[in-house]
């Protein structure tokens, strides 16, 4: 046993000592963790931090994903979701269709509507303001509207001749409650120029999230990994997120997103492995000491890895989702939805306490006994 953990890689002992003392890890520490093959030792350290921050609870939610359109100006190389107008598979939803889709989730007990989509070249900014206002009018107050990545916010500023701060202010006035963390990808300029040169820069992504936080809009943050990035670039990404959280404090959760190469211009790349997925989740928990929650998005990593991840620093496996399109168009083979019963069962099987939450991590229900678990099963 080394510094309280069963480490095979004894070179990790100084890092383990920091973890036990609650000290912040350096970028060099993060790189050493990535270069180590001691997955179980890294997992033990991450689990220690998870328990210190979140006890034995693992969160989930009942939510609904809506992607209003896949027509997009950017057409990034890594994206299998986007289409050009008129291209086979391109679609766009009307405002009435978006509202109707959102209303469907209310009887299901949803506490979130999650909206992201393409950068449509013909939709004006007012359409998005009307969308949020219409959703707010149509949905009960407890259903949180989490919508639009920083990439979309920057696009709305461009088409409206406004600033991103003013765009965020108007959307908040219309009813926007929170923002997802998509579009961060990898902050490295090298990778952005190679794979998504039209997308929001790392500096602007961080700035926009800082602006959202200044308005009281909570957000998530992400990292797309497993493509052309280096380990050094992954750690740099995590450190920059940590620095932004130090400055503005509005990140709720970090979600590492495993790259799915199928049907993209980077389809020659292999997908991530379960080993890399678990290590990345664990290292995120160890590096991001100021972000309260680490989420394993089961759509991306699969149900089995999502379950295992709860022993590797993860305290959230996302939600029911319903009709996820973006990752599945890139070749994901996971279901497009799960029921609340299934999520409760997946978490309970790991020995953790399932906790239903809303977007802001307000507890909806704790399933901490046999009666609760039976109720979730409808028995």
Residues 6+ positions from 98 with CB-CB distance below 8 Å = 66, 68, 115, 131, 134, 135
pLDDT tens by residue, 28-37: 999 999 999 9
Q: What is the mean pLDDT of the chain?
A: 89
Q: Please compute the mean of the pLDDT values over residues 253-260 and round it to a whole number.
A: 91
pLDDT tens by residue, 298-338: 888 889 999 999 999 999 998 886 543 434 343 334 455 68
* Alpha-carbon span 61 to 52, nearest angstrom: 22
* Alpha-carbon span 321 to 339, nearest angstrom: 9
* Alpha-carbon span 60 to 105, nearest angstrom: 16
- Show the domains of the chain with their CATH numbers: 55-376 (3.20.20.70)
pTM: 0.90
Computed on alpha carbons and rounded to an integer, the radius of gyration of the chain in Å comes to 20
127 against 372, higher pLDDT: 127
**pLDDT computed for residue 265 by the predictor:** 64
Three-state secondary-structure class, residue 219: strand
Nearest to 15 by CA among 37, 42, 43: 42
Least confident among 128-142, 290-304, 315-329: 315-329
Q: 364 φ, ψ to 5°?
A: -95, -45
**pLDDT computed for residue 336 by the predictor:** 53
């Amino acid at each position: 046993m080394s510094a309280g953990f069963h480490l095979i890689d004894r070179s990790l002992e100084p890092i383990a000592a920091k973890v036990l003392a609650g000290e912040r890890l350096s970028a060099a520490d993060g790189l050493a963790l990535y270069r180590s093959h001691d997955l179980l030792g890294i997992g033990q350290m991450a689990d220690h931090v998870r328990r210190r921050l979140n006890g034995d609870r693992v969160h989930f939610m009942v939510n609904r994903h809506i992607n209003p359109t896949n027509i997009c100006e950017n057409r990034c190389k890594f994206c299998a979701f986007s289409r050009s107008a008129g291209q086979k598979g391109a679609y766009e939803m009307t405002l009435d269709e978006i509202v109707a889709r959102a209303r469907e989730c209310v009887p299901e007990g949803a506490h979130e509507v999650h909206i992201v989509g393409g950068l449509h070249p013909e939709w004006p900014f007012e359409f998005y303001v009307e969308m949020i206002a219409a959703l707010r009018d149509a949905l009960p107050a407890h259903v949180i509207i989490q919508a639009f990545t920083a990439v979309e916010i920057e696009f709305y500023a461009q088409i409206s001749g406004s600033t991103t701060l003013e765009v965020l202010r108007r959307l908040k006035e219309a009813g926007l409650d929170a923002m997802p963390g998509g579009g961060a990808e990898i902050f490295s300029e090298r990778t952005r120029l190679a794979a998504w040169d039209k997308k929001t820069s790392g500096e602007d992504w961080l700035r926009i999230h800082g602006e959202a936080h200044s308005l009281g809009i909570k957000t998530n943050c992400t990292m797309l990994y497993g493509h052309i990035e280096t380990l050094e670039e992954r750690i740099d990404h995590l450190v920059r997120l940590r620095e932004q959280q130090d400055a503005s404090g509005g990140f709720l959760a970090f979600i590492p997103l495993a790259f799915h190469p199928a049907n993209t211009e980077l389809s020659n790349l292999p997908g991530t492995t379960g080993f890399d997925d678990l290590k990345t989740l664990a290292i995120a928990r160890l590096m991001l000491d100021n972000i309260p929650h680490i989420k394993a998005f089961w759509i991306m990593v699969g149900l089995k890895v999502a379950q295992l991840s709860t022993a590797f620093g993860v305290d959230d496996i996302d939600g029911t989702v319903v009709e996820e399109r973006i990752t599945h168009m890139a070749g994901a083979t996971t279901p497009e939805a799960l029921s609340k019963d299934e999520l409760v069962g997946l978490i309970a099987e790991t020995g953790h306490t399932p906790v239903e939450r809303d977007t802001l991590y307000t507890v909806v229900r704790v399933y901490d006994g046999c009666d609760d678990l039976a109720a979730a099963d409808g028995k």
